[in-house]
Structure 1
Protein backbone atom coordinates (compact mmCIF):
# COMPACT_ATOMS: atom_id res chain seq x y z
CA UNK A 1 0.00 0.00 0.00
CA UNK A 2 1.41 3.38 -0.94
CA UNK A 3 1.59 6.47 1.17
CA UNK A 4 -1.53 8.66 0.62
CA UNK A 5 0.62 11.80 0.62
CA UNK A 6 2.44 10.53 -2.47
CA UNK A 7 -0.71 10.25 -4.56
CA UNK A 8 -1.63 12.73 -7.25
CA UNK A 9 -5.21 13.85 -7.80
CA UNK A 10 -5.53 11.29 -10.60
CA UNK A 11 -4.67 8.49 -8.20
CA UNK A 12 -1.31 7.87 -9.86
CA UNK A 13 1.70 7.37 -7.63
CA UNK A 14 4.08 10.28 -7.73
CA UNK A 15 7.07 11.10 -5.64
CA UNK A 16 7.06 14.73 -4.56
CA UNK A 17 9.83 15.73 -2.22
CA UNK A 18 8.93 18.65 -0.01
CA UNK A 19 12.11 19.88 1.62
CA UNK A 20 12.12 21.58 4.98
CA UNK A 21 15.65 23.01 4.86
CA UNK A 22 17.61 25.02 2.32
CA UNK A 23 19.14 23.12 -0.57
CA UNK A 24 20.86 23.98 -3.82
CA UNK A 25 19.86 22.50 -7.15
CA UNK A 26 17.61 22.77 -10.14
CA UNK A 27 15.19 20.10 -8.89
CA UNK A 28 12.88 22.62 -7.25
CA UNK A 29 9.13 22.99 -7.52
CA UNK A 30 8.39 26.71 -7.75
CA UNK A 31 4.79 27.95 -7.59
CA UNK A 32 3.38 25.23 -9.88
CA UNK A 33 3.58 21.47 -9.73
CA UNK A 34 6.14 20.17 -12.20
CA UNK A 35 7.78 23.52 -12.87
CA UNK A 36 10.71 24.05 -13.69
CA UNK A 37 10.80 20.30 -14.55
CA UNK A 38 14.44 19.75 -13.43
CA UNK A 39 15.73 21.43 -16.60
CA UNK A 40 18.47 24.01 -16.23
CA UNK A 41 16.97 26.46 -18.73
CA UNK A 42 13.58 26.40 -17.03
CA UNK A 43 15.25 26.76 -13.62
CA UNK A 44 17.13 29.86 -14.79
CA UNK A 45 13.87 31.24 -16.20
CA UNK A 46 12.17 30.60 -12.85
CA UNK A 47 14.97 32.44 -11.03
CA UNK A 48 14.62 35.37 -13.44
CA UNK A 49 10.84 35.48 -12.91
CA UNK A 50 11.24 35.45 -9.12
CA UNK A 51 13.79 38.28 -9.48
CA UNK A 52 11.30 40.28 -11.59
CA UNK A 53 8.45 39.62 -9.14
CA UNK A 54 10.54 40.87 -6.22
CA UNK A 55 11.73 43.91 -8.18
CA UNK A 56 8.14 44.75 -9.14
CA UNK A 57 7.02 44.53 -5.50
CA UNK A 58 9.59 47.17 -4.57
CA UNK A 59 8.72 49.42 -7.50
CA UNK A 60 5.03 49.22 -6.59
CA UNK A 61 5.85 50.16 -2.99
CA UNK A 62 5.83 53.79 -4.11
CA UNK A 63 2.24 54.99 -3.95
CA UNK A 64 0.85 56.27 -7.24
CA UNK A 65 0.58 60.03 -7.45
CA UNK A 66 -3.01 61.22 -7.40
CA UNK A 67 -3.51 64.61 -9.01
CA UNK A 68 -5.08 67.37 -6.97
CA UNK A 69 -8.73 67.66 -7.86
CA UNK A 70 -9.14 63.94 -8.63
CA UNK A 71 -12.33 62.37 -7.34
CA UNK A 72 -11.46 60.82 -3.93
CA UNK A 73 -13.22 57.58 -4.86
CA UNK A 74 -11.26 57.23 -8.11
CA UNK A 75 -7.99 58.07 -6.33
CA UNK A 76 -8.73 55.59 -3.58
CA UNK A 77 -9.62 52.84 -6.05
CA UNK A 78 -6.43 53.50 -8.00
CA UNK A 79 -4.25 53.33 -4.89
CA UNK A 80 -6.08 50.26 -3.56
CA UNK A 81 -5.64 48.48 -6.90
CA UNK A 82 -1.90 49.11 -6.92
CA UNK A 83 -1.69 47.97 -3.30
CA UNK A 84 -3.64 44.78 -4.07
CA UNK A 85 -1.37 43.98 -7.01
CA UNK A 86 1.70 44.62 -4.85
CA UNK A 87 0.43 42.28 -2.14
CA UNK A 88 -0.46 39.54 -4.65
CA UNK A 89 3.04 39.69 -6.12
CA UNK A 90 4.62 39.78 -2.65
CA UNK A 91 2.76 36.61 -1.69
CA UNK A 92 3.92 34.94 -4.90
CA UNK A 93 7.52 35.80 -3.99
CA UNK A 94 6.94 34.42 -0.49
CA UNK A 95 5.53 31.17 -1.87
CA UNK A 96 8.48 30.88 -4.24
CA UNK A 97 10.94 31.27 -1.37
CA UNK A 98 9.04 28.58 0.53
CA UNK A 99 10.46 26.09 -1.96
CA UNK A 100 13.59 26.35 0.25
CA UNK A 101 15.79 26.50 -2.84
CA UNK A 102 18.86 28.68 -2.24
CA UNK A 103 18.84 30.01 -5.81
CA UNK A 104 15.22 31.14 -5.47
CA UNK A 105 16.02 32.75 -2.13
CA UNK A 106 18.96 34.68 -3.61
CA UNK A 107 16.91 35.72 -6.65
CA UNK A 108 14.17 37.11 -4.38
CA UNK A 109 16.58 38.97 -2.10
CA UNK A 110 18.57 40.42 -5.02
CA UNK A 111 15.33 41.40 -6.78
CA UNK A 112 14.06 43.21 -3.68
CA UNK A 113 17.43 44.94 -3.20
CA UNK A 114 17.67 46.04 -6.85
CA UNK A 115 14.07 47.30 -6.81
CA UNK A 116 14.78 49.24 -3.61
CA UNK A 117 17.88 50.72 -5.25
CA UNK A 118 15.86 51.82 -8.30
CA UNK A 119 13.13 53.42 -6.21
CA UNK A 120 15.48 55.20 -3.81
CA UNK A 121 17.91 56.41 -6.48
CA UNK A 122 15.00 57.88 -8.43
CA UNK A 123 13.71 59.63 -5.30
CA UNK A 124 17.20 60.94 -4.54
CA UNK A 125 17.58 62.25 -8.10
CA UNK A 126 14.26 64.11 -7.81
CA UNK A 127 15.27 65.56 -4.43
CA UNK A 128 18.66 66.70 -5.78
CA UNK A 129 17.00 68.28 -8.80
CA UNK A 130 14.49 70.14 -6.60
CA UNK A 131 17.28 71.30 -4.25
CA UNK A 132 19.37 72.55 -7.17
CA UNK A 133 16.38 74.41 -8.61
CA UNK A 134 15.56 76.04 -5.28
CA UNK A 135 19.18 77.05 -4.62
CA UNK A 136 19.56 78.58 -8.09
CA UNK A 137 16.28 80.47 -7.62
CA UNK A 138 17.48 81.71 -4.23
CA UNK A 139 20.80 82.90 -5.69
CA UNK A 140 19.01 84.78 -8.48
CA UNK A 141 16.71 86.45 -5.92
CA UNK A 142 19.70 87.40 -3.71
CA UNK A 143 21.50 89.08 -6.68
CA UNK A 144 18.46 91.22 -7.55
Structure 2
Protein backbone atom coordinates (compact mmCIF):
# COMPACT_ATOMS: atom_id res chain seq x y z
CA UNK A 1 0.00 0.00 0.00
CA UNK A 2 1.49 3.35 -1.05
CA UNK A 3 1.30 5.99 1.67
CA UNK A 4 2.06 9.65 1.12
CA UNK A 5 2.73 12.15 3.92
CA UNK A 6 -0.57 13.42 5.31
CA UNK A 7 -2.55 10.45 3.96
CA UNK A 8 -4.65 8.37 6.30
CA UNK A 9 -3.78 4.73 6.83
CA UNK A 10 -6.64 2.33 6.25
CA UNK A 11 -6.57 -0.85 8.29
CA UNK A 12 -9.04 -3.23 6.72
CA UNK A 13 -10.90 -5.87 8.74
CA UNK A 14 -12.90 -7.11 5.82
CA UNK A 15 -14.94 -5.83 2.88
CA UNK A 16 -17.74 -4.22 4.91
CA UNK A 17 -16.03 -3.61 8.26
CA UNK A 18 -13.06 -1.27 7.91
CA UNK A 19 -11.43 0.94 10.50
CA UNK A 20 -9.80 4.23 9.55
CA UNK A 21 -6.75 5.32 11.51
CA UNK A 22 -5.47 8.85 11.04
CA UNK A 23 -1.74 9.42 10.73
CA UNK A 24 -1.90 13.20 11.20
CA UNK A 25 -3.70 15.54 13.60
CA UNK A 26 -7.38 15.97 12.84
CA UNK A 27 -10.46 17.45 14.47
CA UNK A 28 -13.76 15.62 14.84
CA UNK A 29 -15.88 13.23 16.85
CA UNK A 30 -15.04 10.27 14.63
CA UNK A 31 -12.09 9.04 16.65
CA UNK A 32 -10.93 5.75 18.05
CA UNK A 33 -9.86 6.37 21.65
CA UNK A 34 -8.36 3.50 23.67
CA UNK A 35 -10.89 0.88 22.52
CA UNK A 36 -11.91 -0.27 19.06
CA UNK A 37 -15.20 1.31 18.08
CA UNK A 38 -15.26 3.87 20.91
CA UNK A 39 -16.60 6.65 20.95
CA UNK A 40 -18.82 5.14 18.19
CA UNK A 41 -19.30 8.34 16.13
CA UNK A 42 -21.43 9.77 18.95
CA UNK A 43 -20.96 13.32 20.25
CA UNK A 44 -21.89 12.23 23.77
CA UNK A 45 -19.35 9.42 23.78
CA UNK A 46 -16.74 11.75 22.29
CA UNK A 47 -17.29 14.26 25.10
CA UNK A 48 -17.04 11.38 27.59
CA UNK A 49 -13.73 10.33 26.01
CA UNK A 50 -12.43 13.90 26.28
CA UNK A 51 -13.44 14.09 29.95
CA UNK A 52 -11.89 10.69 30.67
CA UNK A 53 -8.56 11.73 29.15
CA UNK A 54 -8.70 15.09 30.96
CA UNK A 55 -9.26 13.50 34.37
CA UNK A 56 -6.70 10.72 33.78
CA UNK A 57 -4.07 13.34 32.92
CA UNK A 58 -5.01 15.51 35.88
CA UNK A 59 -4.93 12.62 38.38
CA UNK A 60 -1.61 11.38 36.97
CA UNK A 61 -0.08 14.83 37.46
CA UNK A 62 -1.41 15.17 41.02
CA UNK A 63 -0.05 11.72 41.90
CA UNK A 64 3.31 12.62 40.32
CA UNK A 65 3.71 15.60 42.63
CA UNK A 66 2.55 13.92 45.84
CA UNK A 67 4.77 14.82 48.82
CA UNK A 68 7.24 12.27 50.13
CA UNK A 69 6.37 9.93 52.95
CA UNK A 70 6.75 11.36 56.44
CA UNK A 71 9.72 10.52 58.65
CA UNK A 72 9.23 7.62 61.01
CA UNK A 73 6.99 5.67 58.61
CA UNK A 74 7.61 1.93 58.50
CA UNK A 75 9.86 1.30 55.43
CA UNK A 76 7.74 -1.62 54.23
CA UNK A 77 4.49 0.34 54.45
CA UNK A 78 6.11 3.43 52.94
CA UNK A 79 7.59 1.43 50.06
CA UNK A 80 4.29 -0.33 49.43
CA UNK A 81 2.45 3.01 49.42
CA UNK A 82 4.94 4.55 46.98
CA UNK A 83 4.83 1.48 44.72
CA UNK A 84 1.03 1.51 44.66
CA UNK A 85 0.96 5.20 43.73
CA UNK A 86 3.58 4.52 41.06
CA UNK A 87 1.48 1.74 39.48
CA UNK A 88 -1.52 4.05 39.21
CA UNK A 89 0.57 6.97 37.96
CA UNK A 90 2.25 4.95 35.21
CA UNK A 91 -1.02 3.28 34.22
CA UNK A 92 -2.78 6.64 33.88
CA UNK A 93 0.13 8.13 31.95
CA UNK A 94 0.20 5.22 29.49
CA UNK A 95 -3.56 5.45 28.98
CA UNK A 96 -3.27 9.17 28.28
CA UNK A 97 -0.41 8.53 25.87
CA UNK A 98 -2.40 5.87 24.01
CA UNK A 99 -5.42 8.19 23.81
CA UNK A 100 -3.28 11.01 22.39
CA UNK A 101 -1.99 8.58 19.77
CA UNK A 102 -5.47 8.72 18.23
CA UNK A 103 -4.19 12.02 16.71
CA UNK A 104 -7.48 13.72 17.59
CA UNK A 105 -6.99 17.39 18.51
CA UNK A 106 -9.79 17.37 21.08
CA UNK A 107 -8.18 14.46 22.91
CA UNK A 108 -4.75 16.13 22.69
CA UNK A 109 -6.09 19.41 24.11
CA UNK A 110 -7.86 17.52 26.92
CA UNK A 111 -4.61 15.73 27.84
CA UNK A 112 -2.57 18.95 27.89
CA UNK A 113 -5.26 20.80 29.86
CA UNK A 114 -5.54 17.92 32.34
CA UNK A 115 -1.79 17.82 32.92
CA UNK A 116 -1.71 21.60 33.32
CA UNK A 117 -4.58 21.76 35.80
CA UNK A 118 -3.21 18.78 37.75
CA UNK A 119 0.20 20.45 37.96
CA UNK A 120 -1.45 23.66 39.15
CA UNK A 121 -3.38 21.84 41.89
CA UNK A 122 -0.34 19.87 43.04
CA UNK A 123 2.00 22.88 43.15
CA UNK A 124 -0.63 25.09 44.82
CA UNK A 125 -1.06 22.46 47.51
CA UNK A 126 2.71 22.18 47.96
CA UNK A 127 2.93 25.98 48.30
CA UNK A 128 0.17 26.02 50.93
CA UNK A 129 1.95 23.28 52.89
CA UNK A 130 5.30 25.09 52.64
CA UNK A 131 3.74 28.35 53.83
CA UNK A 132 2.05 26.54 56.71
CA UNK A 133 5.37 24.94 57.77
CA UNK A 134 7.16 28.28 57.47
CA UNK A 135 4.46 30.00 59.55
CA UNK A 136 4.67 27.35 62.27
CA UNK A 137 8.48 27.54 62.40
CA UNK A 138 8.30 31.36 62.72
CA UNK A 139 5.74 31.03 65.53
CA UNK A 140 8.01 28.57 67.37
CA UNK A 141 10.99 30.96 67.15
CA UNK A 142 9.02 33.85 68.68
* 2:86 counterpart of 1:83: yes
1:11-30 → structure 2 map (5 Å cutoff): 13-30=16-33
1:63 Cα deviation after fit: 4.3
- Tell me which residue corresponds to 1:38: 41
2:77: which partner in 1? 74
Distance 1:89 1:12 in 2: 36
Q: Secondary structure at the match of 1:78?
A: helix
- Structure 1 ranges of 4+ moved more than 4 A: none
Aligned to 1:121: 124
- Relative distance call for 1:80 and 1:64 in structure 2 (3 A) is farther
Q: Distance in 2 between matches of 1:132 and 1:17?
A: 58
Tell me how many residue pairs correspond in the alignment.
133
Structure 2 unaligned blocks of 5 or more: 1-10
Please give the alpha-carbon distance, in whole angstroms, between the structure 2 residues aligned to 1:65 and 1:35.
Answer: 38
Residues 1:135 and 1:72: Cα distance change in structure 2 (over 3 Å): closer
Instruction: Please identify the structure whose Cα radius of gyration is greater.
Output: 1
1:135 alignment partner, SS class? helix
Contact 2:65 2:123 in 1 (8 A): no
The structure carrying a bigger strand percent of its residues is: 2
